[in-house]
């Protein structure tokens, strides 16, 4: 009798815990959907990313100018023939570092472009972030919770 009472109580406790987790999961899901539908957030994100892209493009232009100036310096030095091996190595090192920095800036710019494209796609299509990422956003907790919470009575 006491064992049966204890097992019933334990089942009820587990069921309540499961229902509580389902409730919290639904709240989180609703909040995420609200955020995904909020156009103002997307506009702010888009505007911030556009500013970042402009800054990265400006940096890229600066690095490109430095790279061209270093190349021009090297060409002039080779033409004059008055340059030593140490100076050539120094200029080549500078060219390498500027080229590496330029590549990093280009990569960052490409990543920002991809992020803006996803945000723009979401904004234009008026779909949720779950749809874009391929996540099934239909009542996540209902199917899983019923499987988790089912126990033989």
Predicted local distance difference test score (pLDDT) of residue 125: 66
pLDDT, block means (10 residues), the chain with 153 residues: 93 96 96 81 80 91 91 81 72 85 87 80 63 52 40 40
Q: pTM of the predicted model, to two decimals? A: 0.33
How far apart are the C-alpha atoms of 101 and 98, rounded to whole Å? 5
How far apart are the C-alpha atoms of 55 and 60, rounded to whole Å? 9
Total domains, the chain:
1
Q: What is the DSSP letter of 99?
A: H
Which domain, by its residues, includes 72? 2-149
Which residue is listed with tokens 């505007």? 47
């Amino acid at each position: 009798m006491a064992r049966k009472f204890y097992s019933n109580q334990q089942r009820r406790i587990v069921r309540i815990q499961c229902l509580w987790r389902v409730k919290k999961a639904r709240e989180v899901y609703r909040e995420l959907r609200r955020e995904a539908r909020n156009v103002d957030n997307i506009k702010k994100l888009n505007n911030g990313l556009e500013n970042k892209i402009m800054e990265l493009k400006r940096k890229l232009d600066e690095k490109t100018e430095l790279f061209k100036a270093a190349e021009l310096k090297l060409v002039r030095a080779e033409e004059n023939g008055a340059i030593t091996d140490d100076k050539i190595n120094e200029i080549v090192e500078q060219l390498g570092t500027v080229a590496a920095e330029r590549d990093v800036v280009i990569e960052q710019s490409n990543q920002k472009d991809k992020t803006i494209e996803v945000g723009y796609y979401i904004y234009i299509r008026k779909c949720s972030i779950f749809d874009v990422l391929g996540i099934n956003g239909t009542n996540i907790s209902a199917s899983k919770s019923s499987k988790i919470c089912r126990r033989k009575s």
